[in-house]
Structures are given as C-alpha cells and as structure tokens.
Amino acid sequence: MIGAGTGVAPYRAFMQEREARGARGPSWLFFGERNFRSDFLYQVEWQDLLKGGVLSRLDLAFSRDAAPKTYVQDRLRRQGRDVYGWLEDGAWLYVCGDAANMAPDVHRALVDIVAEHGGLDRDGADAYLAELKRDRRYRLDVY
C-alpha cells in the first residue's frame, strides 16, 4: 500500500476489513505527507494496527521535516530489495493519491527496483510491472 496525503484513506478501510476477517498475510504501508507533527493522518490508528500485528510494516516520508525532501518513492527505493521480495512472494501493490507527480514517481521507482533486484533491463522491468497490472496485482486510484 503506497499512499500520500488523503491517498491513505482506502488503506484504512483495507486494514479494518483485514482485521475483521482475521486476515493473516503480511501488509506494508508507505505513507507520505508534509509534517510528522501535524499531518500524520490517522497516526494513532496506524500505531495500534502495527502493535496488534494487523499491519506488518510502516514506512514514512515527511517531506518538510528534513532536507533533502523525502517522498514515498524515496522510501520505496531505500527498501527496494524487500519490496521486490514481497512482489516475488505474490504481494498485491496499491498506489493511491496524487496523479500528477506521486504516481509517476512511484512507478519510476518501481521500474528501477524491479530492474535492479530482478536483474532485468528497463524493458524487462516494464514488462514485469505490466504483467502485474494485467493480473490486477498493481492497482492505482489516483486523482
């Protein structure tokens, strides 16, 4: 689950559903906003979900708290090896939020990650992600 700003909203529902169903598989959220102090949307809920094991991992990017600015795609790249590992293990990938910048930047990061850790060239990485999309395992809700 990758979301910036209000793009985090559907994941809250995902979590609530998974908690209600008692889903056992691991889950991982990348969330980005401007300031940790004021913009960590639903902070307390994510903390509780982590503590309860409903959410397995949480990576955060607050762009205005540190120089240089860090965004979700930067955190994604930093965790590239594990992200690729999850995809290989059958993970479903969701991207939600800004369509103009965030989604294309995240896509570029994913291409690089797949290329680097999957030992593919650029075309190979594009094809890998296209196949994920075809299998409905890489889904976007961007606006």
Partner 1 sequence: MDAKTQPDRSRDLSQPLDQLGPDEMLKADSDHLRGTIQESLVEEVTAAVAAEDAKLMKFFGIYQQDDRDIRDERRRQKLEPAFSFMARVRLPGGVCSPSQWLKLDDLGRRYAGETLRLTTRQTWQLHRVSKHDLRTVIQGLRDVLLDTKAACGDDTRGVMCTVNPNLSKLHGQVYVLAKQASDHATHKTGAYSEIWYGAERQHKDGPEEPFYGRTYLPRKFKIGFAIPPSNDIDVYSQDLGFIAIARDGELQGFNVAIGGGLGRTDQAPATYPRLGSVIGYIEADRLIETIDAVMSVQRDYGDRVDRAHARFKYTIDDKGLDWITDEIERRLGFALAPAEPYRFTSNGDPLGWTTGEDGREHCTLFIENGRIVNTPDRPMLDGLRAIAEVHTGTFRITPNQNLIISDVEPGERPGIDQLLAEYWLDEFESRSGLRLNSMACVALPTCGLAMAESERYLPDLVTKIEGLLATHGLEDDPITIRMTGCPNGCARPYIAEIGLTGRAPGKYNLYLGGGFHGQRLNKMYLENVGESAILEALDTTLGHYAREREPGERFGDFAIRAGYVVEVTEGRFFND
- Interface residues toward partner 1, by CB under 8 A: 36-38, 40-47, 50, 58, 60
Q: In the bound complex, what is the minimum distance in angstroms from residue 12's beta carbon to partner 1?
A: 10
Nearer to partner 1, 44 or 100 (CB): 44
Nearer to partner 1, 6 or 47 (CB): 47
Q: Between residues 5 and 112, which has the closer beta carbon with respect to partner 1?
A: 5
Nearer to partner 1, 42 or 92 (CB): 42
Amino acid at 49: L
First-to-last C-alpha distance (Å) of the chain: 16
Instruction: Report whether 116 contacts 110 (CB < 8 A).
Output: no
Q: Which tokens in the block code for residue 68?
A: 């240089």
Closest by CA position to 48, among listed 75, 15, 72, 21: 15
Cα distances from 18 to residues 26, 98, 131, in angstroms, run 10, 25, 26
